[in-house]
Amino acid sequence: MQSEFTMPKVELHLHLEGAAPPALIQQMAHEKKVDIKGIFDQNGHYVFRDFTHFLAVYEAATSVLTQPLDFYRLTRAVLEQSASHGVIYTEAFLSPDFCGQAELGPWREYLSAIQEAAADAEKSFGIVMKGIVTCIRHFGPQKAKKASLCAAETAGDFICGFGMGGAETFGVQSDYLYGFDMAREAGLRITTHAGEWGGPESVRQAVFDLNAERLGHGVQVAEDPHLVDELIARDITLEVCPGSNVALKIYPDIRSHPIAKLRDRGVKVTVSTDDPPFFHTDMTKEYAALSHAFGWGKEDFSSLNKTAIKAAFCDTATKDTIIKRLDAE
């Protein structure tokens, strides 16, 4: 029998580069003779002081990913890691800015390598991956337009969504509306990071200005009960990453995290790892921490996974297959 920790899981919020195993990044740096030793501690873990420094370390780590083959290796390694924690379906954020400077020609080559790795990983580890193209907020609206063009041009079975990550306090959500509209017109579903750092105001902008269907994090909405009602009325799902929020000191510990309170109020919440090796987490640890803090058991996690697959951006056939696999356990 599966325990709540080994049970099959659905993850909706994972940055592909942010999930890069440190050993793989170190290996690539060694192969390319790039010196990024400063981003690791003596134990080989990523090390950073705060969120701004985290973004800098993140970008330094991605600097060794310079060709499609690197993304093949990265994708395969990340999916093997996720599958080892029971993840059977994952939606990964892919950033064209890190794949050939968000130029469409190179992006297609990088994407093709990522898709090939995803297909191989599905055969080897049974995990299904879909991609959400993300623009990076602190790179500004012009670069975001290029990322959304990459998204729109490659929208389809694999690329099923568009979103925005990066520094949430940079500008306002609607500065990026052009890119979101372009992606939406191409048939892509919409999510954006909101309410991780920007408080309820950022959530309000994501909901009313961008009309997002899901929110990356979204947890600071808990400070505004009326907005919580709005999320429930609009059936918006939150991609909650408790371990990430605690690691970045948004909340002092899991017990202080609003995920349980939001769930009990009727908000649709799901659980993801965000950038797992940076935050010393994985899906097994997330489930264990939630179980310990709130007494959640198998039933709770099972319903959480159902919520997640219902809010997934993939096609119905893929959803049905994943639901069957969740039900079979």
Q: Does 274 bind Zn ion (CB under 5 A)?
A: yes
Q: Does 11 bind Zn ion (CB under 5 A)?
A: no
Taking the complex as a whole, the smallest distance from the CB of residue 224 to Zn ion amounts, in Å, to: 21
Taking the complex as a whole, the smallest distance from the CB of residue 323 to Zn ion amounts, in Å, to: 25
Can 196 be counted among the known catalytic residues?
yes
Taking the complex as a whole, the smallest distance from the CB of residue 275 to Zn ion amounts, in Å, to: 7
**Cβ-based neighbours of 32, under 8 Å, separated by 6 or more:** 64, 66
Nearest to Zn ion of 215, 228 (CB atom):
215
Taking the complex as a whole, the smallest distance from the CB of residue 58 to Zn ion amounts, in Å, to: 10
CA dist 321 and 329 (Å) reads 13
Q: Does 4 bind Zn ion (CB under 5 A)?
A: no
Pick the catalytic residue from 4, 11, 17, 196. 196
Q: Which stretch binds Zn ion (CB under 5 A): 33-41, 118-126, 133-141, 273-281?
A: 273-281
Token pair for residue 170? 């940079």
**Cβ-based neighbours of 325, under 8 Å, separated by 6 or more:** 8, 88
Residue 8: name the closest of 83, 87, 84 by CA.
87
Q: Does 213 bind Zn ion (CB under 5 A)?
A: no
In the complex, which residue's CB is closest to Zn ion?
A: 274
Q: In the range 63-122, which residues lie near Zn ion by CB under 5 A?
A: none
The footprint of Zn ion on this chain (CB under 5 A) covers a number of residues equal to 1
Q: Which one-letter DSSP state was computed for residue 142?
A: H
The stretches of 192-233 forming alpha helices (DSSP H) are: 199-208, 225-233
Q: For residue 125, how far is the Cα from the chain centroid?
A: 20
Active-site residue list: 196
Binding site for Zn ion (CB under 5 A): 274
